[in-house]
Amino acid sequence: MEPLVHTFDERGYTARSCQIGHMKCVEIPSLKLLVAVGGHGKAQFAVQSQYLIDRCPDASALICVGAAGRLAHHLTCGDVVVATSTIEHDYRLRFISRPPPVHQPDPALLATLREVSASRSFRFRVHFGIVASGDEDIIDPVRAEEVRLATGALAVAWEGSGGARAAHFNGLDFMEVRVITDAAGEAAAHEFHENLKMVMPNATELLLEWASRGGSGEGAGIATAPSPKNCACNVRRTQLKH
């Protein structure tokens, strides 16, 4: 969460701490944005997203923001991936044969981020494509290739599908935005810890440009992060139950 908040502060958007129930959050009033930790793994991320949604009755959207390992070789550290869909690669049925669950982003949010990417020159590249989601650290090139072939994903992370399920269950819009921190290979853990603070501001820059253009209309925003690796929830915060 700290890299996100620090970048907002550097860009002149004042952040202040607040407490929502059991969760410590950071609020950026001028952007109507609330930043919080979403929890590690799909289930925990969904639980904590639901907790915030319950206390933000005017919520309009949930945006999952965090780090990811690359699956497509043309991606490099620091690139941002906006998910055109989130696929659960670890959802394995044995009784019947069926494709893994696929969670779609809100078309309007996706279109706005495409406009932002096309009209603004960033110091990093922005890609649009599938993100694979599953409770598994991908630290082997062979396994990474298996996930890529099974899903067609550009990148792999954990919590996106948990956020998507929470958002869609509550009738909220959803979007997932990821920053590449590692190559999902044997050095992934080292690369992740070495690169995280350096590259996470890239996601913040994209979100700042999005929010400055009105974000989700009248909606405000919650940005949550599971462990260092994740999430943002966009809500209309005219009322909060503490």
Confidence band for 21, pLDDT divided at 50, 70 and 90:
very high
CATH code reported for the domain at 2-224: 3.40.50.1580
Query: What pLDDT, on a 0 to 100 scale, did the predictor assign at position 218?
Result: 53
Q: Which residue has the higher pLDDT, 182 or 234?
A: 182
What tens digit of pLDDT does each residue of 77-132 get? 999 999 999 999 998 878 988 889 999 999 999 999 999 999 999 999 999 999 99
Q: Can you tell me the mean pLDDT for 24-39?
A: 83
Q: Can you tell me the mean pLDDT for 13-17?
A: 88
Order of all β-strands in the sheet with 33-36 = 16-20, 23-28, 33-36, 221-224
Query: What pLDDT, on a 0 to 100 scale, did the predictor assign at position 179?
Result: 97
What does pLDDT average to over the chain? 87
Range with the poorest average pLDDT among 97-106, 163-172, 196-205, 217-226: 217-226
Proportion of the chain above pLDDT 90, given as a percent: 63
The reported pTM is 0.88
Indicate the domain borders of the chain. Answer: 2-224
Q: Which residue has the higher pLDDT, 217 or 131?
A: 131
> Rounded distance, CA 236 to CA 32, Å?
7
Query: What pLDDT, on a 0 to 100 scale, did the predictor assign at position 81?
Result: 98
Count Cα atoms within 13 angstroms, Cβ side, for 139: 10
